[in-house]
Chain A
Amino acid sequence: MEPLSNKRKVVDNKPLNFWERAYLPAIVHGLAITMKHFFRKPVTIAYPEEKREFSENFRGMHSLKRDENGKERCTACGLCALSCPAEAITMTAAERQPGEEHLYREEKYAAVYEINMLRCIFCGLCEEACPKEAIYLDGDIVPSDYLRKDFIYGKDKLVESPLNP
């Protein structure tokens, strides 16, 4: 059979010589190797205090975006929920009332928008599906919690903070 990779090592089954069979030199060699590691810098990242650098296309927690005037972009069309393979998104649409024009960009908006972070697989299909560029997975790692109900994130956690509060 053709080798699948070019990594190849010839194994020799020579019988061990005396020093190899004596075992103690091998132990001393092993101890030297571990001692080298003893003085090496630890690779640990102390997570909540330090964070690993993420790649450009890292997909973290979702955020619902606002437009340049600070109005919510989401129109509750439901395409994100439809595209979600994990069925993690639910929403309730509502009609914009007169006087709310500074809050919502279009006549329809999401009154309730919930993502279950335990169901979400962070595939990013919701941001692909969104026609209004309203949802992006550009946040941090979703923090841990004690209760399942606390992982259902509503608009209070998802919507971007206002531009000029």
Chain B
Amino acid sequence: MELADIIVKFILVVIIFAISLVIAMYSTYAERKIAAFFQDRIGPNRAGPWGLLQPLADGGKMFLKEEIIPTNASSFLFIVGPSLAIMTACIGSAVIPWGQKLTIGSHVIDLQVADINVGILYVFGVVSLGVYGVMIGGWASNNKYSLLGAVRAASQNISYEISMGLSIIALLLITGTLSLRQIAEQQHSWHWNVLSQPVGFILFLICAFAETNRTPFDLPECETELVGGYHTEYSSMKLGFYLFAEYINMFISSAVMVTLYWGAYNYPFMDWMAAHIGTNGAVILGVVLMFAKIFLFIFFFMWVRWTIPRFRYDQLMDLGWKILIPIAIANIVVTGIVITLINR
């Protein structure tokens, strides 16, 4: 790899890192604002115009709060927990293709940090690491509510990762590749995978809700039963990291869903656009549209949060094991049969 390529990659990493942090920051604002709209309220509007400085105020508050480590907590693991949560949340964005290749002069810039051939497996690996942050934090707190929250998080993630993986297998039967770049390229123009895999998409969506611990699957941190769940004992920026990790996870899983099912950076008539406004213009439009799709998904996450009440624990397990997994397996079988019939 040339030095220029390394510099370009480094800049790309920094940009993506900054974007995901800023999006997570403003997701907290958007969550409060959208919650207010759904409840016929106004929402934060005092800090800056329309309350736009609210995330900064919240962040400042988090940093200035007293940092408490409980006496009986395991202090090392207590700090490792949130660090792990935010770290795994941040590295998930490495394999997502944000756009086609930009050409500047003789230089071709790949708008993806790493095009590894097992991209989707990498995402799954990172996601399943994410639960360690919650588990370690909950266990190290030495508090029964935290422990209960952590145990719930672990069992929930294990249950829903199975149906998530199974829903992906049906998609992989169609794409024939694990690389996210190739999956994105295959959905050129309007050939989005959601058209051929609607059931798989709905399964993936439900599991994504469970994996990010969002309502109706927010049992690990349900305030009404477990005080705060795994982050009961946390204060200051360590709590901030947990909350932040949740929003980054939401952003990343929206990005993965868009890449896998909703055509990534592709849009109808993209060839026509490329011919009329130049290749780079079309690429940038694709990136913008990709982010627009991601924001729609983040909005959907919030919309669902303020609509659907939390599952009971046995309902959660019933849904995961008795409904989603059988549907996912049936989806694989049907997809396999259809592919065989078409290719004959």
Q: A-side interface residues toward B, CB under 8 Å?
A: 24, 27, 30-31, 33-35, 37-38, 40-44, 46
Q: In the assembled complex, which residues on chain B have CB atoms less than 8 Å from the CB atom of A42?
A: 36-37, 40-42
Q: Specify which chain A residues have a CB less than 8 angstroms from the CB of B38 in the assembled complex.
A: 34, 37-38
User: What residues of B have a CB within 8 angstroms of the CB of A30 in the complex?
Assistant: 307-308
Q: Is the CB of A31 within 8 A of B304?
A: yes
Known contacts A33-B307, A42-B41; 11 further A-B pairs (Cβ under 8 A): A24-B202, A30-B307, A30-B308, A34-B303, A34-B307, A37-B38, A37-B39, A37-B40, A38-B37, A38-B38, A40-B40
How many Å lie between the Cα of A42 and that of B35 in the bound state? 12
Interchain CB contact under 8 A, B307 and A27 = yes
Question: Is A46's CB under 8 angstroms from B42's CB?
Answer: yes
Give the top 9 A-B pairs by smallest Cβ distance, nearest first: A34-B307, A44-B42, A30-B307, A42-B42, A38-B37, A43-B40, A34-B38, A44-B41, A42-B40
Does B306 have its Cβ within 8 Å of any Cβ on chain A? yes
Residues from chain A with a CB closer than 8 A to the CB of B39 are 37
Q: How many inter-chain residue pairs (CB < 8 Å) link A and B?
A: 36
Complexed CA–CA distance, A24 and B203 (Å): 11
Q: Which residues of A contact B307 (CB under 8 A)?
A: 27, 30-31, 33-34
| B37 A43 Cβ-Cβ under 8 A | no
Size category, B interface: 10 to 19
Are B41 and A43 neighbours in the complex by a CB distance under 8 Å? yes
Query: What is the bound-complex CA distance between A42 and B306, given in angstroms?
Result: 16
Chain A residues whose C-beta falls within 8 Å of the C-beta of B308 in the assembled complex: 27, 30
CA distance A120 to B276 in the complex (A): 74
- 22 A-B residue pairings within 8 Å (CB atoms): A24-B202, A27-B307, A30-B307, A31-B303, A31-B304, A33-B307, A34-B306, A34-B307, A35-B303, A37-B37, A37-B38, A37-B40, A38-B37, A38-B38, A40-B40, A42-B37, A42-B40, A42-B41, A42-B42, A43-B40, A43-B41, A44-B41
Cα of A41 to Cα of B304 in the assembled complex, Å: 21
A29–B37 CA distance with the chains assembled, in angstroms: 18
Q: Tell me the complex Cα distance, A37–B39, Å.
A: 7
Interface hits, B249-284 → A, CB 8 Å? none
* A residues in contact with B303, CB < 8 Å: 31, 34-35
C-alpha gap A30/B308 in the complex (Å)? 7
Q: Measured between C-beta atoms, what is the minimum distance from B199 to chain A in Å?
A: 11
Q: B residues 34-58 with Cβ under 8 Å of A?
A: 34, 36-42, 45
